[in-house]
Chains A and B, each alone.
Chain A
Amino acid sequence: MASYSRRILPCFWKTTKLLTFEDSARRVPCRYHQELLPTRNYLLPETVEEHRKSELSKHPELPPSITSENVPADFRFVYPEFLPDPQYDRRDSIRERLEREDMYRRRAVIDIPEFYVGSIMAVTVSDQYSPNKENRFVGICIDRGGVGLRAFFILRNVVDGQGIEIMYEMYNPTLQSIQVLKLEKRVDDKLYYLRDAPQEYSTFPFDMDPIPVPKGSTVPVNKMKVQLNPRPWLERWERQDLQGVEDLKLEQRFYDKAAKVAKPWEKYDLMKWYRENTNEEERDSIMQEVHQRKRLTDIEKSKRKTKLAERKR
């Protein structure tokens, strides 16, 4: 051990004048100069948080964090947009809180149901140019993303032999209703490869009847494999690790190149994952809050319904 401590703190400095600790403690860095040096012209999130809790002035009380809720394990997949943007320099607790508040309010007004990439949905938006001031579109959800009020999903359908995609914002006030015609998941996160697949894979009738899912059952996973059209494609699908696609039947050189540019180590990069995702503890606390708010709004909604029913009688 003695050798170790010598390694840590080698005695290397040789001066003619002997100095000791206190002496060097007094030789403080020149702050005056440092003050004039350019520093970052914004504060760190932690600093702002500190000042928001500072006891030197009055601050609004934050609602207490919720820990009593029994949140189902897959709850976060139903409400992914409530998780904040994990980008470190854009985080702000108050902004996230206010944004979530707006989302709860909107969700209390219209019903945004549970859906996943691969579900078939019908969306009605108000359209001031159509004669009945409404526009309904049916399609398969090929992507879902965004955070907070920016959350969106994309529907795809083929009408009269023409592939059409529409992107909807989930909290857009022109959205009148969202209906899930068929609730299911696909094996991939994004279904953009349907653009390069034969049209029958993304053709859905507008007058499709909703297929009810029995309550309490798990969401079915559609393990269908899609046969893509021959090249050229919009993207190099062979380089993406797609599960829902049949064998691409390419020449070997494509696979070789794909193997060359692949980054198999990325999945082991723990910090990369951590930087790009909201961490578990924060995620849990937010989901607790979402669950509680959902419970409360559900109760209110049912009360309102019973009242309406009584009035009708």
Chain B
Amino acid sequence: MLRFPYRARPRKMSRQRLPEEGIIVGQEGRLQRLRQLVTGLVRYERIETVYQHCDETRGYAERLIHTAIRNGDQHQHTMEMADYWLNEKDLIYKLFDVLVPRYQNYSSAFTNIYRTPIVYPGRGTEMGILELKGNPWPDVLPKQRDNRYVISNVLLQAARKDYNTSKESRKTKNELNSSSENSET
């Protein structure tokens, strides 16, 4: 089960220009391109392309890892898939020996996706970054700042304490009342 929102319909991605194969049209070309991206992702653990391609690749990469986790390396269908989707065959070992143990107990998606800034002036293409979680690279997003001491938080925190104490005192009062009623009856 994919743990991220995916598109109800696939993108067409028709007419792919590949370095070796040249221009490939149609469904087959789409898969060829995605294959390269998935291979790259498993190899480098972080890739950067057109955002739409990243988004498409994400589903395939996650499904591949998912089937590998579910079925293991003794399963014929899974091995066929791994063989197809990973152009460089040494990555099959990486899939089963590195990625499967890494994502065994994940309850979230295995990948992260980001949009990168649109380069201006330029072609205006929306670029994206796709990465496997737990990769050795430095984080894409900078570290989140500590907001504890921002004035709004200081005030809210104090308000929270007040609120909780008053709530508890009310609760204990109610309990006392109810217990006294009980004893009377």
Contacts and interface: CB of A to CB of B under 8 A. Distances in A.
| Nearest 6 pairs of A and B residues by beta carbon | A270-B63, A88-B8, A281-B1, A279-B1, A271-B59, A268-B84
Contacts of A12: 117, 119-120, 122
Interface string A42-70: 00001000000000000000000000000
A25 interface: no
Given A1-B138, A7-B48, A270-B67, A265 B28 contact: yes
B70 A280 contact: yes
A270 B120 CA distance: 36
A265 B120 contact: no
A265 B63 CA distance: 16
How many B residues are at the interface, by size bracket? 20 to 34
24 contacts: A1-B137, A4-B137, A5-B138, A8-B116, A9-B117, A10-B117, A10-B119, A12-B117, A12-B122, A88-B8, A263-B27, A263-B28, A265-B28, A265-B31, A268-B81, A268-B84, A270-B64, A271-B6, A271-B56, A275-B10, A279-B1, A279-B2, A280-B1, A280-B70
Contacts of A279: 1-2
Interface in B97-155: 116-117, 119-120, 122, 129, 137-138, 140
Contacts, number: 59
Contacts of B6: 271
B110 to A, nearest CB: 14
A19 to B, nearest CB: 14
* Interface residue SS majority, chain A: helix
Contacts of A282: 1
Given A271-B10, A275-B10, 12 more contacts: A1-B137, A5-B138, A8-B48, A8-B140, A10-B119, A12-B120, A266-B27, A268-B80, A270-B59, A270-B64, A271-B56, A271-B59
A88 to B, nearest CB: 4
B52 to A, nearest CB: 14
How many A residues are at the interface, by size bracket? 20 to 34
Interface of A: 1, 4-5, 7-10, 12-13, 46, 88-89, 263, 265-266, 268-272, 274-275, 279-282
B2 A274 contact: yes
Nearest to A263: B27
A46 B5 CA distance: 9
Interface string B13-40: 0000000000000011001000000000
B44 to A, nearest CB: 10
Nearest to A87: B8
B74 to A, nearest CB: 16
